[in-house]
Amino acid sequence: MKKTKEVKKLTLSGLFLALALVMPFLTGQIPQIGSMLCPMHFPVLLCGFFCGGGMGLLVGFLAPLFRSVLFGMPPMFPVAICMAFELAVYGLVCGGLYRILPKKKGSIYTALICAMVLGRLVWGAAMMVCVGAENFGLPAFLAGAVTTALPGIVLQLVLIPVVVMAMEKFMEK
C-alpha cells in the first residue's frame, strides 16, 4: 500500500512538472503576460498540496530551470534561477503547512498565503544576491513581487483553493 502511494505521488509530481513547463504557452510566450499571470506557480502550488512539501520543493525548483533550458524562457540568469528558489519555497511551504494544519477550508488559504508571501520574499532575496542590492531595491521588489503579479496572485487565491477542495472531494469517493 505504501509503495502505491509513493508511485501515485511520483506520477502526480511528474504531471505537475509537465504542466509547469507547458502552462506558460497559454500566455503566448509574452513575458509581460507571464509575469502578470504566473502560470508556472499554479502547478507547483498544487504539487505541494497533493504530493507534499518535499515533492513540491523539487518540482518548484526544477520547473523554471528545465523551462529555461528547454524553451529559453524564462532567461536563466537571473530570472529562472531566482524563480527556482521562489517556487521551491511555494511547494515546500504550502505542502508542509497543509499537512500539519487541521483539514479545514481555512487551512488551504493559510498554507497558500504563507507560501506566496515567503516565496516572494525568497525571490526578492535571490534577486538581490544575483543582481546586487544596489540594482534591486524595494521599488523593484514591490513591482516584481506584488504590482506586476497582482492578477496572478488573485487568480491563485481564487482558483487554487477551489481545485484543492474539488480534488479532495473527488478523491474521497
CATH number at residue 97: 1.10.1760.20
**pTM for the model:** 0.95
Distance of CA 41 to the CA centre of its chain: 3
Domain count, the chain: 1
Q: Are 76 and 68 in contact (CB under 8 A)?
A: yes
pLDDT for residue 80 is more than 90: yes
As a whole number of angstroms, the distance between CA 152 and CA 150 comes to: 5
Q: d(Cα 173, Cα 163) in Å, to the nearest integer?
A: 16
Mean pLDDT of the chain: 94
- Amino acid at site 122: V
Report the alpha-carbon distance of residue 78 to residue 11 in Å, rounded: 30
The range of the structural domain enclosing residue 162 comes to 2-28+35-172
Q: 169 φ, ψ to 5°? A: -65, -45
Q: pLDDT of 104-145, one tens digit each? A: 889 999 999 999 999 999 999 999 999 999 999 999 999 999
Contacts of residue 82, Cβ cutoff 8 Å, sequence gap at least 6: 123, 126, 127, 130
Judge contact between 117 and 91, C-beta under 8 A.
no
pLDDT tens-digit profile of 15-58? 999 999 999 998 876 778 888 999 999 999 999 999 999 999 99
Neighbours of 31 (CB within 10 A): 13
In 3D space, the residue among 54, 63, 153 whose CA is nearest the CA of residue 99 turns out to be: 54
What local confidence, expressed as pLDDT, does residue 173 receive? 63
